[in-house]
Amino acid sequence: MLPFYDLGHQRRHWLQTTTVVPILLFVTVLIAFVITMSEGMARTPIVDGAANETSHSLNTHFDFTAAASYFLPSLRSTEPSTFDPTTTNFGLISQAYDSDASLPDASQLTDWQRFAHHVSTLNAHAPDHQSYHVLYLARHGQGYHNLAERYYGTGAWDCYYSLLEGDMESKIMWADAHLSKLGLEQARLQSQFWESQLKHANMPVPAKWYVSPMERASRTAEITFQPLQDNGTLGPAHFVPTVKELLRETNGIHTCDRRSKRSVIAANYPKWKIEEGFAEEDELWDPIYRETNEAHTYRAALLLDDILSSVQTDTGAKGNYLSLTAHGGMINAILRAIGHREFQVNVGSAIAVLVKVEQKDGKRPNRHFGKGETAPKCLEDPLKAGLPGYKNLKEYVDGVEGQVNVLRATAN
């Protein structure tokens, strides 16, 4: 028998209809009742859970439309695997805008300055219930879970290794995965890139920052933006992000997507805001079921409802530039929610999108998506998985992290 978790073992056919002994029948029915109640009390998908209460208590929601042809990721010709914001001005497409005519010195301005004027013009001419916002969507740097999946392969990862806390023998852990050494370096390089963009390209500074509660995303945001706060690059803006429960990665089964306790997050980032209603324990992560794409997309819409409703009140501005540091799956969920094509952002990278928002009366219609998907069964022995040429995961990780000094030397 293969040593892997069969997560369907709780669904045994236990009711023995042939039992005729009254006492045995009673015991059987009692067991059935307990099992049924246990399943009914299991954690529900994240969109039906407590994290939805703040967002779904709003008496308004929004319709979203991704504005195409402003950023390279919106174009079908842009290949996600090779897209690099650091060599493409954050993906902003250089072009003329009708609004340039109202700028006396348009030819002297950067592409980002002209784009910012264009967005301001769109907002100035939009009706009261419409607005335009720019989302900076950043994916965390490489985490140890990314290295483990690459080493074992996605099949073995999904069916076996992602359910574990980590590799106990090598002490490489991936529950609420931390950044690898390469991931830390990627975040540092993103900080340098942001500094250059803000100083030389005049890219607008975010009005607000939001981060996933996962350690790898929070650490990426801190390394990227805190130095810019410290050296004055952000100007009057203050990097005080808000930790948002709904900004987390696809939920369930994978221990890398189970967050730490609220008290741990607060201790690690004492100056940050943690949204109201954020529970001490991770009450949303489910060890049996994983969130579907449909549920994740709906969650992303609830997140945007919550953010846009509060940010317009806080800033008083009709349109805002918002920074969200999250995950590959979460970014794609946001893109689906706003009608943008899916775009797999590389680890330690980012994209920008322009979103047209229309305010609607009433709560977003409630939707339920069931329990989700269980882990796939292993088709091969997962203990035999691993990249050829390496003795074990540790040897592979050591090799990858040995390249960090080379990367740093090249960058400098």
Residues with active-site annotation:
140, 249
State the Cα–Cα distance between residues 249 and 292, nearest whole angstrom. 12
Q: How many whole angstroms separate alpha carbon 331 and alpha carbon 396?
A: 28
Rounded Cα gap, residues 205 and 113, in angstroms: 12
Please state, in angstroms and rounded to a whole number, the distance separating the CA atoms of residues 254 and 90.
31
Please state, as a whole number, how many other Cβ atoms lie within 10 Å of the Cβ of residue 21: 9
Three-state DSSP class for residue 146: helix
Spatial distance between the Cα atoms of 91 and 75, rounded to a whole number of angstroms: 10
Q: Can you list the pairs that 112-119 forms with residues at least 24 positions away whose Cβ atoms lie under 8 Å?
A: 112/197, 112/201, 112/202, 112/203, 112/204, 113/202, 115/70, 116/202, 116/204, 119/319, 119/354
Q: Return d(Cα 213, Cα 253) in angstroms, integer.
A: 17
The structure tokens listed for 325 are: 């540091």
In this structure, what is the dihedral angle of CA atoms 28, 33, 36, 41, given to the nearest 10 degrees? -140
Alpha-carbon distance of 353 to 340, in angstroms, equals 9
